[in-house]
Structure 1
Amino acid sequence: MEPVARFRSVVVDCPDPVALAGFYAAVVGGTPRVEEDDWVVLEAPGVPRLAFNRAPGYTPPEWPRADRNAQQFHLDLDAGSTWEEVDAAQERVLALGARPLDLEEGEDKDFRVFADPAGHPFCLCRIARP
């Protein structure tokens, strides 16, 4: 079946698009491009295009609550194949302004959950290698 449209970008609402685009540029690469005062685009090699939109009155999601202002989406980011690599990525995102939400480890859990500076959840995932 012929698709109706092609994927363009993931748009993230936030209070400060320039700051949040800068955070994700430091995490995944690329250079933010301000297109309007309230619209910033980040394109990085191998990453879907991310756009950041100023949302007046923005209220961040509350993870993991589903009863009030639930998470609308989250990003999964590959952080390496070893826990040492994930640990290093964790140190870097925390230094950039991320906040830990769930750092619990377990045999069946290959990710750690953080909030970006605007409060959106994202995961640093350990890539399982065969």
Structure 2
Amino acid sequence: MACRISELVIDVADPERLAAFWSEVLGYVELGREDDGSIEIGPPDAGFGGPQPTLVLSPSSSPRTGKLPLHIDVNATDRDQNAELERLLALGARPADVGQTGTESWHVLADPEGNEFCLLRTRLQPL
């Protein structure tokens, strides 16, 4: 038997802001809140333990330094990459430079707190 990823925990300065952003990006909903200010978001029908991992946005006052050692990759499910890029930029994402050459098939973006993520080219089927 193997493990699978059930949730990703991200330290953030403003859990409310990032929960709203990532909920819009992924089509997630708020699943719960903890006393420490953490907000968990996930797929509306499955929640925790479903086929997709949930995200826990955990408050942190520690400043981030440098490029993240781990980042999220996303793929559009109902439009092409260019249309999805426009949608993500309208939600508050911004282009990020992590040393790419400009010939990549993906776009490197940052969420409203500067956490890098990539928009890949391949359109995936929705779950």
TM-score bracket, shorter-length normalisation:
0.7 to 0.9
> Over alpha carbons, which structure has the higher Rg?
1
What TM-score results when the alignment is normalised by the length of structure 1? 0.74
Aligned ranges for residues 65-104 of structure 1 at < 5 Å? Answer: 69-79=66-76, 85-102=80-97
Residue equivalent to 2:61:
56
| Alpha-carbon distance in structure 1 between the residues aligned to 2:105 and 2:92 | 22
User: What secondary structure is seen at the aligned counterpart in 1 of 2:118?
Assistant: strand
Letter in 2 for 1:40: I
Pair 1:124–1:35, CA change in 2 (3 A)? same
Task: In structure 1, list runs of 5 or more residues that go unmatched.
Answer: 62-68
| RMSD of aligned Cα (Å) | 2.7
Q: Which has the higher strand share?
A: 1
Q: Check whether the contact 1:14–1:58 (CA below 8 A) recurs between aligned residues.
A: no
Q: Deviations over 1:88-128 (max 9, x none)?
A: 1111111111110158653xx32110000111110110117
Relative contact order higher in (CA < 8 Å, ≥ 6 apart): 2
Q: Check whether the contact 1:18–1:34 (CA below 8 A) recurs between aligned residues.
A: no
Residue equivalent to 2:109:
114
What TM-score results when the alignment is normalised by the length of structure 2? 0.75
Aligned residues: 115
Percent identity between matched residues is 32
